[in-house]
Chains A and B, each alone.
Chain A
Amino acid sequence: MAGYILKRLLSAIPVLLGITVIVFLIMALIPGDPATAILGNFATPENVEKLNRDLGLDKPLVNQYFIWLGNMLTGDFGQSFALNRPVLDEVLERFNATLILAGTAFVLCSFFGILAGVISASRQYGPADKAITFVVLLGISIPSFFLGMMMILLFAVNLRWFPVSGMWPIFGDRDLGALLSHLAMPAFALAVVATGVIARLSRSAMLEVLRQDFIRTARAKGVPERGVIWRHALRAAMVSIIPVLGIQAGFVLSGAVYIEMVFQWPGVGRMLVDAILKRDILLVQGGVVFVAACYVMFNIMVDVAQSLLDPRIKT
């Protein structure tokens, strides 16, 4: 197992290097430079040139890339132009906020998705299955940002149950209750679509397993139906559910961008959107590399978890 993990980790290095090249090139090739973004109307060629020099962007691209890569390997991600603070501080702070949001949404969608899928499968074509299928389809069909706006209108503006936006209250303690009240709406809005996807795929995975011989055997030897479903069938179905969870984790993480905009959650997605609009090159590059590294690690973890569950998967 240790050898397998090490091999996967080593294979991540070229992937990450490739990501640095791609994100660097994209930022270098898109039209508009940071100096123009900062100067706006006043971006005369003369002013732009002087500012680019002050920002250290007048060196050849290849040099800029290797300086950036070299600094990053020593843990220095550079300074954000638009926010005037170290890129790494900003990224870590923002990523933490995204993890709280996406993590909560992931727990919600995994729990309710699998639960709904199992119930649906165990009562195939029954009223519960039909009701769940209907709700799930509805959930998959509503764009999360629209759902978010509607929730703000109903629960924050009209009913005033939850605050509209942000992660912490401006006044008062930063305790768990304060966080939860800010987290509830965005986490729910973010989880809805993923819950639907997980529910549908769990349902079909369960149905497939329930048709197999060992389930009949279990029933025949008198295992209670609850045990058959939750202990025997679900465990077997998990092998095909876990990769779906892995994909949905990525989906929740990237879907967080919209939700972060709508709820002004101070996460990494909103940070990247702002940074791209402001041509905040180092912040975009540092942010993307960091998030990509997390994705790669997460994928490795999913693969490892899968091979632990099913020893046949080991390459």
Chain B
Amino acid sequence: MRVLDWTRRSVLIAGATTAMSLGLMSSSVAQTPPGVLIVGQIAEPKALDPAAVTAVNDFRILMNVYDGLVRYKDGTLETEPALATGWEISDDGTVYTFTLREGVKFHDGSDFNAEAVKFNFDRMLNEDHPYHNTGPFPLSFFFSSVQEVEAVDDLTVRFTLDAPYAPFLSNLAYPTGLMVSPAAVMEHGADFGRNPSGTGPFTFTEWRSNEAVVVEANPDYWDGAPALQAVVFRPISDANTRTAEMLAGGIDMMVEVPPVALSEFQGDQFNLVEQAGPHVWFLILNAKEGPFADVRVRQAANYAINKEALVNDVLEGTAAVAAGPTPPAFAWAYNDALEPYPYDPDKARALIAEAGAEGAELTFYVTEGGSGMLDPVAMGTAMQADLEAVGFDVTIETYEWNTFLGQVNPGLEGKADMAQMAWMTNDPDTLPYLALRTEAWPDQGGFNSGYYSNAEVDMLLEAARVSTDQAERARLYKQMQEIVREDAPWVFVANWKQNAVTSDRVENFALQPSFFLLLKDVVKN
């Protein structure tokens, strides 16, 4: 009996200790303070140097700490003045002269002026620049057309391009074009990414690795002080845990709510925010060889796949059906007349029979996940079923994201008939120019992995790129979309709606079509 006596006592002690510590702990789970917004991010940022990063996750912080020369107008993808108050474009579209805002200072106290702008671009583009070694700058090719940046006087800066390049302004609004403090770069060198200094509405305060990035309000912000006192960005990479934190009140806002978790946030204590963005999810079809070399079979694939069912059932309404290669978020360049291919398996069968491609064997590259890929495995399986229903014989090959890119980007020839892909861009030029032109075939360094080629589309895209008249560009893009829809080099699947959930203590928050997270006017009670 002694053994048991002893254990009874130990059980008692253990129980008492547990109870005591529970009592103690329940008090430590406190509510988050007012005026301080806690954002549940999807990952630890790489760096807070806008020239050095590529991930949307990092952009969400950067857009609140820095400004660019221009920015996107609220709720659109059209540019408006920011650190530059105005600009002139030469008639041939190769010289941009910006007038800068007066009296703006970086958070470290140094002046924002033309020299600072020149420093920013030279650091990124000029390999001989003394601070080029603070990189690498993976997205510097956004500005590869820039030949020279000149500080004309203190508040005037002139960019000379090697050729007319219409997306230049919207690239300046992209995070890669955000202005960093030259003084801070000189002081911190390669560590600038952990000691950032910009001109934005929030000032960097602290970065606790794997815990939080903290920024505080900048009371002297040129566009008015923010309503919040501070923002805390917490990396919570597991989507279920992020959801649990939101439900438990540990964070005030979460981005990228998984579709299956949406129903958790129906109650009054949460607000669900959605915004369609410049994203398109598509299947690249191999137009060079195999059944998809025939345009009728490519169209048949578009008719065969039930996109409504995909966005509603697999993606739980977090995306809309795509009609063509350009997302509707580019409102000015989007062709409203474009209708998505309807779900019509009979028509698909008829087209396949016409082309003599009954029972064709297809190899389908699917990825396990990746930037903007939503739920690729489930979507791939559903597509496989739809395609088999009209008589194809589809074999799926699944790859991890980086491996997948290594398979798809060099081209599908000799390997596969179709591959999943998704892009998020900031200008209607980017994706079609890089992925639909004849000169963008993989052997020429582009992303046209399905070898689509149409001389008219090539011409339209070249013309739209060099025109500086937005109405003219819009006309050309709309024409391009019609042709591409008809030629069906891709199966146009979905445009992702980015979502976020906030607690009912958060007001004045809206998502932007750019997918940036702008927190300047957000209030937390």
Q: Is A42 touching B245 in the complex (CB atoms < 8 A)? A: no
Partner of B244, one of A84, A90, A156: A156
Expressed in whole angstroms, the Cα–Cα distance for A153 and B234 within the complex equals: 20
Chain A residues with CB below 8 A from B211, complex form = 166-168, 170, 266
Instruction: Indicate if the CB atoms of B29 and A163 lie closer than 8 Å.
Output: yes
In the complex, what residues of A have CB within 8 A of residue B30's CB? 171-172
The 0/1 profile, CB within 8 Å of A marked 1, for residues 293-334 of chain B is 000000000000000000000000000000000000000000
Considering the chains assembled together, what is the distance between the CA atoms of A13 and B235 in angstroms? 38
Which one of B21, B139, B236, B405 contacts A36 once the chains associate, using CB atoms below 8 Å?
Answer: B405
Task: Tell me if B250 and A164 are in contact (CB < 8 A).
Answer: yes
Which B367-411 residues have C-beta < 8 A from chain A?
370-372, 400-403, 405-407, 409-410
Asked if A41 contacts B371 (CB within 8 A), the reply is: yes
Inter-chain contacts of A41 with B (CB < 8 A):
371-372, 405, 423-424, 447
Distance between Cα atoms of A54 and B46 in the complex (Å): 17
Q: A31-B407, A36-B402, A165-B250 are in contact. List 7 more A-B contacts (CB 8 A).
A: A30-B403, A41-B423, A43-B405, A84-B52, A163-B250, A165-B245, A166-B234
Chain A residues 166 to 184 lying within 8 A of chain B, measured CB to CB, are 166-172, 177-178, 180-181, 184
- B52: chain A residues at CB < 8 Å are 84
**Docked-complex contact A31 and B237, CB < 8 angstroms:** no
Q: How many residues of B contact A (CB 8 A)?
A: 65
* Cβ-based interface call for B28 (8 A): yes
A45-B445, A156-B244 known; A170 and B29 CB under 8 Å? no
A180 CB to closest chain B CB, in angstroms?
A: 6
Contact of B138 among A47, A84, A123 (CB under 8 A): A47
The answer to whether B403 and A83 have CB atoms under 8 Å apart is no
| Contact yes or no, A161 B3, CB < 8 A | no
**Contact B29 A38, beta carbon cutoff 8 Å:** no
**B229 smallest CB distance to A (angstroms):** 12
Q: From the candidates B193, B403, B406, B424, name the one contacting A84 in the complex (CB within 8 A).
A: B193
- Out of B6, B237, B402, name the residue touching A32 (CB < 8 Å): B402
14 contacts between A and B (CB under 8 A): A35-B138, A40-B371, A43-B409, A44-B447, A45-B410, A54-B135, A84-B47, A85-B194, A156-B244, A163-B250, A172-B30, A181-B24, A181-B25, A226-B2
For B133, the closest partner residue in chain A by CB is A54
Q: Is A37 an interface residue (CB 8 A)?
A: yes
Residues from chain B with a CB closer than 8 A to the CB of A180 are 21, 25
Contact of B3 among A82, A152, A225, A266 (CB under 8 A): A225
A128 CB within 8 Å of chain B: yes
Contact yes or no, A226 B6, CB < 8 A: yes
Asked whether B518 is an interface residue with its Cβ less than 8 Å from the other chain, the reply is no
Question: A279 within 8 Å of B by Cβ?
Answer: yes
The answer to whether the Cβ of A12 comes within 8 Å of any Cβ in the partner chain is no
Interface flag for B16 (CB, 8 Å): no
B240 interface contact, C-beta 8 A: yes
Interface flag for A274 (CB, 8 Å): yes
Q: Which residues of A contact B235 (CB under 8 A)?
A: 264
Residue B247 CB within 8 A of the other chain: yes
Partner of A42, one of B139, B232, B236: B139
The answer to whether A216 has its CB under 8 Å from any CB of chain B is: no
Q: Tell me how far the C-beta of B3 lies from the nearest C-beta in chain A, rounded to whole angstroms.
A: 5
Any chain A CB within 8 A of the CB of B38? yes
A39 touches B (CB below 8 Å)? yes
Indicate if A218 sits at the interface (CB-CB under 8 A).
no
Residue A105, interface by CB 8 Å = no
Q: Is B138 a contact of A39 with CB atoms below 8 Å?
A: yes
| A51 lies within 8 A of chain B by Cβ | yes
Q: Tell me which residues from 31 to 70 in chain A have a Cβ below 8 Å from any Cβ of chain B.
A: 31-33, 35-47, 51, 54-55
Q: Does B337 have its Cβ within 8 Å of any Cβ on chain A? A: no
Inter-chain contact total with CB atoms closer than 8 Å: 170
Could you say which residues of chain B place their CB within 8 Å of the CB of A161?
22, 25-26, 29
A128 to chain B: closest residue by CB: B4
A122 within 8 Å of B (CB atoms): yes
Q: Cβ of B447: which chain A residues have Cβ within 8 Å of it? A: 41, 44
The interface on chain A, measured as residues whose beta carbon lies within 8 A of the other chain's beta carbons, has a size of 69
- Is A24 part of the binding interface, using a Cβ–Cβ cutoff of 8 Å? no
Would you call B46 and A149 a contact (CB within 8 A)? no
Q: Are A119 and B210 in contact (CB under 8 A)?
A: no
* Those 5 A-B pairs whose CB atoms lie nearest each other, nearest first: A32-B402, A54-B136, A266-B210, A181-B25, A31-B403
Task: Tell me the smallest distance from the CB of A94 to a CB of chain B, in Å.
Answer: 7
Chain B nearest Cβ from A283, distance in angstroms: 12
Interface positions, chain B 22-45, Cβ under 8 Å from A, are 22, 24-26, 28-30, 32-33, 38, 43-44
Among the interface residues B3, B26, B30, B424, which one has the most CB atoms of the partner chain A within 10 A?
A: B3
* Chain A residue at smallest Cβ distance from B54: A38
Q: A163-B29, A170-B232, A229-B3 are in contact. Are A263 and B209 (CB under 8 A)?
A: no
The interface bits of chain A over 261-272 (1 if a CB of B lies within 8 angstroms of the residue's CB, else 0) are 111101000100
* B363 interfacial contact with A, CB 8 Å: no
A157 lies within 8 A of chain B by Cβ: yes
Question: Which one, B28, B33, B141, B241, contacts A152 given CB within 8 A?
Answer: B241
Expressed in whole angstroms, the minimum distance between the Cβ of B127 and any Cβ of chain A is 10
- Contact residues, B201-238 vs A (CB, 8 A): 209-212, 232, 234-238
Min CB distance A99 to B, Å, is 15
Q: Report the minimum CB–CB distance from B505 to chain A (whole Å).
A: 15
Q: Is the CB of A42 within 8 A of B138?
A: yes
Contacts A36-B405, A42-B138 hold; do A162 and B446 have CB atoms under 8 A apart?
no
Contacts of B401 in A (CB 8 A): 32, 277
User: Would you call B126 an interface residue if the criterion is a C-beta within 8 Å of the partner chain's C-beta atoms?
Assistant: no
Q: In the bound complex, do residue B240 and residue A170 qualify as a contact, i.e. CB atoms below 8 Å apart?
A: no
When each residue 239-274 of chain B gets 1 if its CB lies under 8 Å from chain A and 0 otherwise, what string results? Answer: 011001101111000000000000000000000000
B7 touches A115 (CB 8 A): yes
A160-B29 in contact (CB<8A): yes
Question: With A and B bound together, what is the CA distance between A249 and B83 in angstroms?
Answer: 57
**How many Å lie between the Cα of A225 and that of B1 in the bound state?**
8
B234, closest chain A residue (CB):
A170
Are A153 and B402 neighbours in the complex by a CB distance under 8 Å?
no
Bound form: Cα–Cα A30–B404 in Å: 12
B85 at the interface (CB under 8 A from A): no
Measured between beta carbons, the chain A residues less than 8 angstroms from B400 are: 32, 277
Within 8 A of A (CB), among B351-375: 370-372
Task: Considering the complex, give the chain B residue whose CB is closest to the CB of A229.
Answer: B3
Q: What residues of chain A lie closer than 8 Å to B470, measured between beta carbons?
A: none
Return the contact of B29 from the options A36, A85, A128, A181 (Cβ within 8 A): A181
Q: Which A211-244 residues sit within 8 Å CB-CB of chain B?
A: 224-226, 229
Q: Is B10 an interface residue (CB 8 A)?
A: yes
Report how far A157 CA is from B406 CA in the complex, Å: 41
Query: What's the least CB distance linking A290 to chain B, in Å?
Result: 17
- The answer to whether A262 and B241 have CB atoms under 8 Å apart is yes
* A260-301 contact mask (Cβ, 8 Å, vs B): 1 or 0: 011110100010001001010000000000000000000000
Q: Could you tell me the distance between the alpha carbons of A145 and B334 in the complex, rounded to whole angstroms?
A: 46
Question: Contacts of B406 on A, CB cut-off 8 Å?
Answer: 31-33, 36
If A84-B47, A84-B52, A119-B3 touch, whether A44 touches B445 (CB-CB below 8 Å) is yes
Contact B405 A40 (CB under 8 A): yes
Q: Report how far A266 CA is from B24 CA in the complex, Å.
A: 24
CB-contact partner of B409 in A44, A85, A94, A156, under 8 A: A44
What A residues does B32 contact at CB under 8 A? 170-171
Complex-state Cα separation, A85 to B194, whole angstroms:
9
Contact of B241 among A165, A178, A277 (CB under 8 A): A165
Residues A84 and B6 in contact, CB atoms below 8 Å apart: no
- In the bound complex, how far is the Cα of B104 from the Cα of A94, in angstroms? 40
